[in-house]
Structure 1
C-alpha cells in the first residue's frame, strides 16, 4: 500500500491565535466622578459642552449614568434611591431652584444628544426607570422632572411612550400619577405658548389619551366626569372637551358593538329586541338621534368582510344592509335622520375606491328605498343640496352624484306622476 503523499508546509513562523475582543469591566463610578469634576468646574453653562463632547466620556457605555446624574444628581439605584456617597451634585434637574434652571440642564442634554443621537434611547430608559418609581421622590424633584419632560417632549428628545410608566400602584393610589401628568401638560403649554393639540398628538402617538389619564386616578374617584372636573378646575377646557368627545365615542362604540352582535344572531334574537336595545342604550347614555344613526349604520356593516373581490364585497354589503334595514327604518324615522344615514353610506362607500367605481352607493340607496328606510323626499333633498363629505375629496362626492342621476330622475318622474294622479282624483 502506497504511503500517503506529504504536502508542502510553510516552515517559517508559528501559527497565532486570533485575539478576541477585550471586554473591559464597567466602571460607572469613574465616569460619574469625571462628570462631577466637569460640572463643578463649569456648572450648567455653554462652556461645559466642549469637555463633555470629548472622547474621554464613553456615552455608549455610560449614557444612562450621564442622564441619571443630570437629572437626579447621582446614580439612581433600582427602586429609585439616589446614591448619597458621594453626595449628589447640585447641578441637576432635581436640585434646580426654578424652571429656568431646569431648562438650562435640559439644554445641555439636548446639545449633547445632537452630537450623539444614540443618547435619545438612553434618555428613554432612564425616564422609564424614574417614572416607574415616581412616588419615591419628593415634591420639588417631581415638579422639576415634569418641567424637564415637557421641554424634552417639545424638543423631541424623549419618546412619549415613556409616560406609560406612570402606572405604579403607589403613584396612582396617592394621586401622584395624575398630578404629575397634569404638571407635564401645564408646563408644556406654558413653554413657548405650545398648543394643546400638538401635545395631545404627541401623546396619541404613544397610545395615551384621556382614557389613559382616567386610569391614573385613584380607584375611589376614578371616572370620566371626575377627570373633566379636574381639568376644568385648572382651566384646561380643551382637555375637558377632548375627554367628553372620547366618552361620547366610547358610548357610540358600545352601541355599535351591541347592534352588530344582535344582528349576527338575528332570528334567535327578534328585530324588536334590537330596536329596544338601541332605544334603551340611547336613553341611558344620552346619545343624540344623529349619534344613534351613526352607531346603527356602523353596527350594520361591522360584520362585512371587505377583504375579498370587489363584487363579493358588494354582495356582502347589500346583504348586511338588507338584514339591518328594519332597524335602520326605526332609527331613521324622520327625514333629517334619513339624510344623516345617506351621508353615512356616502362616507363608507367613498372610503373604498373599488366600491366607488362600481356605483355601490346607488345600489345601497336603492335597496334602502325599496325597504322603506328612505323616502323620496329625503333622497331628493340630499341630492339637490349637493351634500359633500366633511372629510374626503370633492371628486368622490361628484362621482357619487353622477351615478345617482338616473335614479334621481326616476324618483322625480315618479313624484310628478303621483302628483298628477292626486290632482286627477
Structure 2
C-alpha cells in the first residue's frame, strides 16, 4: 500500500540549496591574458589601459600576479626567480627612465579605478625587496627608480622599505646599494631638496641609525655611511644628519644643566661638567651659552602660574649667574645672551607683559654678567624677535627705556 501524497502550496517546484561555486586558481591563465593584451596593444599605454580595464580580468584574485608582471615581467616564484620568458613591458626590462615611468603610470591609472590593487602592490614590493639580492644590477637599479615613482604617487606604503633592514639583505650589500640608488633618484627629481626626503624616511621609520644598520657589519661606521652618501652625491643629506645630530646634542646638554640645577648642584661643578661635554661634542662658545641659558630657564611644570614662573626664573638667574658669567665672556656673547632671553620671554605673553625681561637683564647687570655697553648696544639696534611680531619687540624696548635712562644717569653721576 503506497503512502498518500500530502497536498502542497504553490507550484510544487523542488528548491535546491545554493552552493558556492569554486573556480580553479589559475595564475598562469591570467598571466597569458595580460601577455596577449600587451602583444595586441604594443607600447601604446592608452590602448593597454583600455584593454586591461576589463571586468573579465579578476584583479581581486590575481592582483599580485598583475603587479609581479608589471614589475618583474612574469610570475615571481619563492626565492625571487622569475618565470620565463618575461614581458618586455615591465620595470625590470626597461631600457630607459622613460620606460620605467610608462609602466608605473600604467599601473597608477589602473589603480585609480581599482584602489584595492595598492594592497597587492605592497605585498609584491615586500616580496621583491626580500629577494632583491638575486636580481641583476640592471633589475635592481630599475626597481629602485620605480620605488621612488611609487612613493611619489602614494601607490605603496613607505613602511615596506623596512624590509631592507633584514639580515640577508644587509649582509649581501643589497640594502645599502638599493637605498642609495633610490634616494639619489629621489633627490634628483626634487632638485636636490632633502626636506621631503627626510619626511619620507621618518614616515618609513628609517632614521640615521636605521641607515647605519643597513651597512654590512664589517664596514659599519658613521664615517663609512657619510662617505657612501657623499659618493652618491648626497652631501646635503649628510649635512642634514649632522645638523640633526648636533641639535640632539644641544638638547641633551640643556636637559643635563636643568637636571643638575634641580639637584642643587653648585654652579662651579655644573660649569666643569658643561666644559667636558662641550669638548667631547666639539661645541662652540655660543652653543654652550645657549644650552646653559636654556637649562636655567627651562620649566617643565605647565601647572605653574605666571607669577610663579617669573619668580622661579629670577631665582635661578640669581643663583646660577656665576655659571652664566663663566660662559658669557665678551660684548658679542653678552648681546647674544640678551637676544636669547628676549626670544624666550616673548614666547610667553604673560611674562612678556609682566616686565620679566627688564628684571632679568637688570639682575644679570647687577651680577656682572652683562655690561652697560652690551645693554646699550642691544637697545640702540632694537633686535627683532625670531618669533613674534614687531609689536612684541617694541613692548620689550618700552619696558627697558626707564632702565636705560637709569644707566645713563648713573654713568653721568659716576663721571
Q: Give the TM-score normalised by structure 2.
A: 0.81
1:275 and 1:20 mapped to 2: Cα distance? 84
1:304 and 1:94 mapped to 2: Cα distance? 55
Deviations 1:156-204 (A, max 9, x none): 4344443333211233234332221211122234448564444344434
The alignment status of 1:67 with 2:60, answered yes or no, reads: no
Contact 2:180 2:232 in 1 (8 A): no
Structure 1 residues 83 and 173: alpha-carbon distance in aligned structure 2, compared to 1, 3 A threshold: closer
1:327 and 1:20 mapped to 2: Cα distance? 86
Contact 1:133 1:168 in 2 (8 A): no
1:377 aligns with 373
1:187 aligns with 185
1:77 and 1:182 mapped to 2: Cα distance? 27
2:286 and 2:23 mapped to 1: Cα distance? 67
Deviations 1:302-349 (A, max 9, x none): 452235554555455555555554433322223322322333333334
1:48 and 1:101 mapped to 2: Cα distance? 14
Contact 1:28 1:65 in 2 (8 A): no
Q: Which moved more, 1:47-56 or 1:256-265?
A: 256-265
1:421 and 1:356 mapped to 2: Cα distance? 31
Any residues of structure 2 matched to 1:315-354 within 5 Å, and which?
315-318=311-314, 321=317, 324-353=320-349
Any residues of structure 2 matched to 1:160-175 within 5 Å, and which?
160-175=158-173
The alignment status of 1:420 with 2:380, answered yes or no, reads: no
Q: Which moved more, 1:270-279 or 1:128-137?
A: 128-137
Structure 1 residues 374 and 148: alpha-carbon distance in aligned structure 2, compared to 1, 3 A threshold: same
2:297 and 2:326 mapped to 1: Cα distance? 17
Structure 1 residues 106 and 380: alpha-carbon distance in aligned structure 2, compared to 1, 3 A threshold: same
1:398 aligns with 391
2:294 aligns with 298
Structure 2 SS opposite 1:92: coil
RMSD of aligned residue pairs (Cα, Å): 3.5
2:37 and 2:260 mapped to 1: Cα distance? 69
2:234 aligns with 236
Deviation at 1:148, TM superposition (A): 0.7
2:38 aligns with 39
Deviation at 1:144, TM superposition (A): 0.9
Q: Which moved more, 1:315-324 or 1:124-133?
A: 315-324
Consecutive unaligned residues of structure 1, counting only runs of 5 or more, are 1-10
Deviation at 1:206, TM superposition (A): 4.0
1:403 and 1:210 mapped to 2: Cα distance? 41
Consecutive unaligned residues of structure 2, counting only runs of 5 or more, are 1-7
Q: Give the TM-score normalised by structure 1.
A: 0.80
1:286 and 1:348 mapped to 2: Cα distance? 25
Count of aligned residue pairs for this structure pair? 402
Deviation at 1:61, TM superposition (A): 4.4
